[in-house]
Amino acid sequence: MRTSQARCVLALGLGLLALMALLPGTVSVWMDEAGHTYLTDGERAPVAGATRLQPSQLSLGWQGRVTGEPLEPGLGSSDEDDRVTRQLLGARGDILRGEVKRGLAQLRRLHRAHPGRPDVAFLLAQVERRRGRLEPARDVLETALSMAAELPEGWREAAPALLKEINDELELAGEQGVSRAAMRVLQTDHFRIWYDHQFAGRAYGDRVLDLLEQARAALARSMGRSLMQPLEVRLYTRAHYLEAYRHRFGFATVGFYDGAIHVVSVRRPRRELLALLIHEYAHALFEDALGGHAPFFLNEGIADREEEIARGRPRLSRSEWRQLLDALRSETWIPLPSLVQGFGGLRGKRALLAYLESRAVIGMIEERHPGAVARWLNRCARGAGWEHALRSETGWDRSSLDAALRELVRSRFPSDPLAKLDSPRIKSERDASAAGAARAAKAEGLSEGGLARPPLLARDRPAKPACARGA
């Protein structure tokens, strides 16, 4: 078979596979006795004598015989274009599966090699924006817009619109994220802190730096990791914090991490601030290892547990275990697989339950597999997928982890007959979550704050991600 014919066969086969994956309903592939191929949306043969085939059988059926005039490469396509597109879709698939660090590294490599490609720039800008890195997202888009000789029609309006949204958010952050009063800045090898100069003097900053170093040392001991680059920390009075960030969360918070630590503080820092800084620094370590906030329930669970250890409460209280049992009995339990991408849409008691489940599952992992969380983070930092690394360290995936936690909750109350079995609703939700996890790799986007599928564009403005600490 000639090389051009082989490539035609491969391209047609891949095209039919992709089309079958995208079209709704039942899609069937048929071949008649003359070797003609048909694609239908039902199970009825299009012509007499046609045989229904699986896509993998097409190349055998065609046997390299491609009829018609040879296809010339399109003016806008080449082997290099195809290679970049495949790598771009592969990076997007990694990100949708939660392998953000791997996908982001691939996107950055592609952008360095092809800075003028709008599809690469658009996806990279979306990812950077979702991680709270607005300046890099803006720079990526501006570079692509300045270098592209002519934007394809699909990008002509979408790319400038996204750039405008990012610039608007940067302007808002400049107005609200920093106190209107003069800001004092202190820099060390490990931290860069900002605080209101009128709120407190230099001695205050020195005390905060001491607490930050204590937080860094505590997490280096427990998690075996520390950041290589200086971390930005911004401290606010409660009034300034609420003015700047009240709109970002559906519940009261006293701090969050979005690439920098933002926390509420008082004029004289106390141990309360140390616990809060430990919580947010744990989020920074998590993002450094995994390249993003997901899986969110493990992210929040690690940070919450480290904070509670700093407060002298390393284990859940009996009343907290009772809350988890009540969630099982009242059919309000939140399956852990549904908390991978975030706690979006959860309010009030539901949000508090998500945080409690997250802390409980980290405690269970450490109790049964001491040191597993630190080893899991290191595996992820070396490029392993988070669920594969979790399975390697503990034997659990997201669904079996949820089942083990529910069983642990029941075991804490052996004399309670109502604690023994799942309700039909919980079982249904667990099964649905497991099925959803199996389909995650085939998903066309995320339901909240999703990424556009190149060359399609996201129309809804995604929410900026942040790991928040409730008040």
All structural domains of the chain with their residue ranges: 3-62, 80-176, 185-287, 293-438
- DSSP character at residue 56: G
- In Å, how far are 12, 291, 398, 463, 464 from 451, measured between CA atoms? 27, 16, 23, 11, 12
Most confident among 361-375, 434-448, 452-466 (mean pLDDT): 361-375
Q: Which of 8, 94, 121 is nearest to 58 (CA)?
A: 8
Per cent of the chain over pLDDT 90 is 29
Q: State how far Cα 183 lies from the chain centre.
A: 32
- With respect to CATH, is domain 80-176 assigned 1.25.40.10? yes
Residue 90: pLDDT above 90?
Answer: no
Show Cβ contacts of residue 189 under 8 Å, excluding neighbours closer than 6 positions: 230
How does strand 231-236 pair with strand 191-196? parallel
8 Å CB contact between 393 and 379: yes
Phi–psi pair at 12, nearest 5 degrees: -65, -40
407 close to 251: Cβ distance less than 8 angstroms: no
pLDDT the model gives residue 121: 84
The band of 213, judged by pLDDT with boundaries at 50, 70 and 90, is very high
Q: Can you give the pLDDT at residue 469? A: 61
Quick one: DSSP state of residue 340?
S
Q: Which fold has domain 185-287?
A: Glutaredoxin (3.40.30)
DSSP sequence for 404-444: HHHHHHHHT-TT-GGGSS--HHHHHHHHHHHHHHHTGGG-S
pTM here is: 0.57
- On the question of pLDDT at 353 being above 90, the answer is yes
Tens digit of pLDDT for each residue in 132-153? 677 788 888 887 777 655 666 6
Residues 245-282 pLDDT 10s: 766 665 567 788 888 888 877 655 577 888 989 999 99
